Amino acid sequence: MHFTEPVYRNPYWPTWPLLEVTRGCTHNKCAFCTMYKGVRFGVAPMDEVEADLAEIATMTPHARTIQLLSANPLVLSFDKMAPILEKIREYLPDMEHVYAAGRVTDLRNKTVEQLRHLRELGLNEISMGTESGNDWTLDRIHKGYHASDIVEQCAKLDEAGIAYWHTFLNGVAGRSHSREHALHSAEIFNQTHPIVVGTGGLTLFPGTPLLADAERGAFDPLTEREMMEEELLFVENLECDSAFITHHTIGGAILTGPDFLGRKEQIVAALKHELEHADMDLLAWRRAQKQTL
Ligand code: SF4
């Protein structure tokens, strides 16, 4: 198999098979991320993709799911992506779900009709590191798009029938814009139809511009308590009929089925309980141990 480190996969998807169709990230500019800093973006040659598919077919000939690598394989044009999906079908005829990560901007170069065709070829679930629905925050962290782009591109996915995930990056606006980040993210996500909303708290990793800004006083990171308060505000205003994942609680993650609205009161109560009872020093210590996103 051809794999270029780092290999990041969606932990909520089956761990295998994974197929490298791109390497690295086309954007590589988000102020909180160093994951692909040392990797030059590249597209895997078709003969390598095919060799890997042949190997996967030997090991798991009846595979029904597959994750495409790496950060944003969705950037591939329709003309490049469609043949890859056709090859997947050829080698893995039982394939039902092809998953890929992507940036909101990756959808701009595809029409609804092309997206629908990709879905018919098996690409039926994508996750977008959306992070925020607040324009100030999106600019501050150099995401390279605005809230209106999220709504516009997600409407195309809805029309094409491709399911998608959003992430809310809790804490990434710092103290000055925490409230706007929470409220606008909920407001923008509410205008879309994700199957999952995931949230995770910001960790300032060595080498990130955001950590450098924090060290010179140009970014005001939230405490664990403030992050939880921001998340609570986000959740209270979120109206997506989706699954919901968060890693904030001290005992582990809150992970729901596709019934966020039905369980919203419980989730709000759980977050309030954590705000009262969680050991914030322990949460801060745990965050400090994290090595990667
Ligand atoms: S967060 Fe995602 S889009 Fe941004 S630089 Fe990292 S991998 Fe690329």
Asked if 69 contacts 25 with a C-beta cutoff of 8 angstroms, the reply is no
pLDDT (0 to 100) of residue 250: 55
Q: Is the pTM for the entire model greater than 0.85? A: yes
Q: Cα dist. 111→74, 94, 273 in Å?
A: 13, 27, 45
CA of 40 to the centre of ligand 1 (A): 13
Report if residue 12 sits inside a domain: no
pLDDT (0 to 100) of residue 249: 59
CATH number, domain of 49, equals 3.20.20.70
What's the structural domain count of the chain? 1
Give the three-class secondary structure for 221.
coil
pLDDT (0 to 100) of residue 252: 61
For residue 101, which atom of ligand 1 is closest to its CA? Answer: 2
Look up residue 91 and give its two tokens: 């080698």
pLDDT digits (tens, 9 = 90+) for 26-83: 999 999 999 999 899 999 999 999 999 999 999 999 999 999 999 999 999 999 999 9
Residue range(s) defining the domain that contains residue 156: 18-289
Cβ of 129 below 6 Å from ligand 1: yes
Give the distance between the most distant pair of CA atoms in the chain. 56
CA of 45 to the centre of ligand 1 (A): 22
Look up residue 71 and give its two tokens: 């950060």
Report if residue 267 sits inside a domain: yes
CA of 73 to the centre of ligand 1 (A): 12
Report if residue 213 sits inside a domain: yes
Q: Which of 35, 40, 75 to mutate to test the pocket of ligand 1 (most atoms within 8 A of CB)?
A: 35
Q: Cα dist. 32→138, 158, 203, 232 in Å?
A: 12, 29, 8, 22
pLDDT below 50 — which residues of the chain? none
